């Protein structure tokens, strides 16, 4: 049985803009009974953010909460994205990348044309990640990276007007300030 991952944010752009190079099989899809919001967050200055954090235009690491897209259960709604086939090794890589998210089985909620049998996973913000985002909002310390927001939007624009329109309709409005931030990555171990 093949495992698949449903991506609904930056994973979409990572796949649709480089799929010819990486050889991943993927299809446009919908995840039922969900909406998208900016509800996952990370403490940028926290010690557990050492493998991934953001710097501002001065090169400093601001003590802020950086918010990311999240999928949350919402009856009667659906979000668009992509499903792509993964082997066990690739699934572990994505687990490491999505450290602030929990992997959830959504097999029965995904609709698409073209893919076969298998289990479908998505990543929803962990309880801790959602709490961090909420705290950041309350303290007026939550921001979204301008590059991240543009990166996510770009993936759907590659899918055409309809994909971008569906992304906009199924995503709660961006109610956090955008901030010029540069992501710094190191090996998560």
Res 25 pLDDT > 80: no
How large is the average pLDDT for residues 160-183? 96
Residue 179 CB coordination number (10 Å): 19
**Mean per-residue pLDDT over the chain, rounded:** 90
Looking at per-residue pLDDT, the higher value among 25 and 6 belongs to 6
What CA–CA distance (Å, rounded) separates 8 from 36?
Answer: 8
pLDDT band with cut points at 50, 70 and 90 for residue 24: low
The two tokens of residue 90 are: 């690739």
pLDDT in tens, 64-116: 999 999 999 999 999 999 999 899 999 999 998 898 999 999 999 999 866 66
- HSE value, Cβ hemisphere, 13 Å, CA-based, for 59: 0
What CA–CA distance (Å, rounded) separates 95 from 9?
Answer: 15
* Residue 127: exposure state from Cβ atoms within 10 A (0-12, 13-18, ≥19): exposed
The two tokens of residue 81 are: 């994205």
pLDDT band with cut points at 50, 70 and 90 for residue 54: very high
Res 121 pLDDT > 70: yes
The model's pTM is 0.91
Res 166 pLDDT > 60: yes
């Amino acid at each position: 049985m093949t495992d698949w991952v449903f991506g609904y944010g930056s994973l979409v752009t990572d796949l649709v803009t480089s799929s010819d190079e990486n050889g991943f099989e993927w299809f446009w899809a919908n995840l039922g009974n969900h909406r998208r919001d900016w509800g996952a967050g990370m403490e940028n200055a926290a010690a557990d953010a050492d493998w991934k954090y953001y710097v501002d235009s001065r090169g400093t690491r601001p003590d802020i909460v950086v918010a990311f897209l999240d999928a949350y259960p919402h009856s009667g709604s659906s979000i668009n994205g992509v499903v792509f086939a993964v082997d066990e090794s690739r699934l572990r890589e994505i687990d490491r990348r999505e450290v602030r998210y929990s992997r959830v089985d959504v097999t029965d909620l995904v609709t698409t044309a073209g893919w076969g049998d298998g289990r479908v996973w998505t990543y929803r913000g962990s309880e801790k990640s959602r709490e961090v985002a909420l705290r950041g909002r309350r303290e007026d310390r939550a921001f979204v990276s301008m590059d991240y927001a543009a990166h996510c939007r770009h993936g759907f624009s590659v899918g055409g007007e309809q994909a971008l329109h569906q992304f906009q309709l199924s995503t709660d409005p961006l109610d956090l300030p955008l901030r010029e931030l540069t992501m710094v990555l190191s090996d998560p171990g």
